[in-house]
Structure 1
Amino acid sequence: MSKFYDELVEGLNEAIAFASGKDTGARVHTIDVPVIDVAAIRAKTGLSQSQFAKSIGVAKGTLLNWEHGRRRPTGPAQVLLAMIARRPSVVTELLRAA
């Protein structure tokens, strides 16, 4: 096969070995994102629940679950909310520029 294919297979095999607890010499990077108070962040923006949910691209039900502690935002949503916490106008500014 191609060199790319061989490297891809090798990488996948290393990932599987690492996930199963084997020492593969892999470098692991972690990023700590603080616990997020979604209701407080939304309050800083001055938006209603519906407006805020729409502005960040999530369903209102998802936002309600976050605000009431039934679920926690993860991944990109967590990072976006952390950014909004630092600068509440960031979403409006970016969407206005688009």
Structure 2
Amino acid sequence: MSAYDSIMQGLNEALDHAQGKEIGAHVSHIVVPSVDVAAIRASTGLSQSAFARSISVAKGTLLNWEHGRRQPTGPAQVLLAMIAKKPSLVSELLR
């Protein structure tokens, strides 16, 4: 099979999957738990400013998360879930 044929086959399978057709593909669903940002930050012992800097977000963003006005999503949610499991992660990685 040529590279073109392989790519076209993959694209057609992706379209079929998007349309709900059974294509025999293995689909994984990963659930990232919701996080209590204030508790996670407190477990690190860092101030709001220091914690925000350590994960490269604006302090205002961190405040919105901590006060429940916004929820972290995507990579931020994953990073916070990792820090929740191992609060020393940030300091270990940034040494």
Matches within 5 A, 1:42-57: 42-57=41-56
Matches within 5 A, 1:7-86: 7-86=6-85
SS at match of 1:83: helix
The alignment of Structure 1 onto Structure 2 pairs a total of residues equal to 95
Rounded to whole Å, the distance in 2 between the matches of 1:68 and 1:5 is 51
Task: Give the direction of change, closer, same or farther, for the CA distance of 1:83–1:16 in structure 2 (3 Å limit).
Answer: same
Task: Give the direction of change, closer, same or farther, for the CA distance of 1:10–1:64 in structure 2 (3 Å limit).
Answer: farther
- What's the offset of the Cα at 1:20? 2.2
- What's the offset of the Cα at 1:38? 0.5
SS at match of 2:94: helix
Partner AA of 1:27 in structure 2: H
SS at match of 1:82: helix
- Backbone CA RMSD of aligned residues: 1.8
TM-score by length of 2: 0.83
Task: Give the direction of change, closer, same or farther, for the CA distance of 1:56–1:20 in structure 2 (3 Å limit).
Answer: same
Unaligned runs of 5+ in 2: none
Partner AA of 1:57 in structure 2: S
Rounded to whole Å, the distance in 2 between the matches of 1:5 and 1:62 is 44
Rounded to whole Å, the distance in 2 between the matches of 1:59 and 1:7 is 44
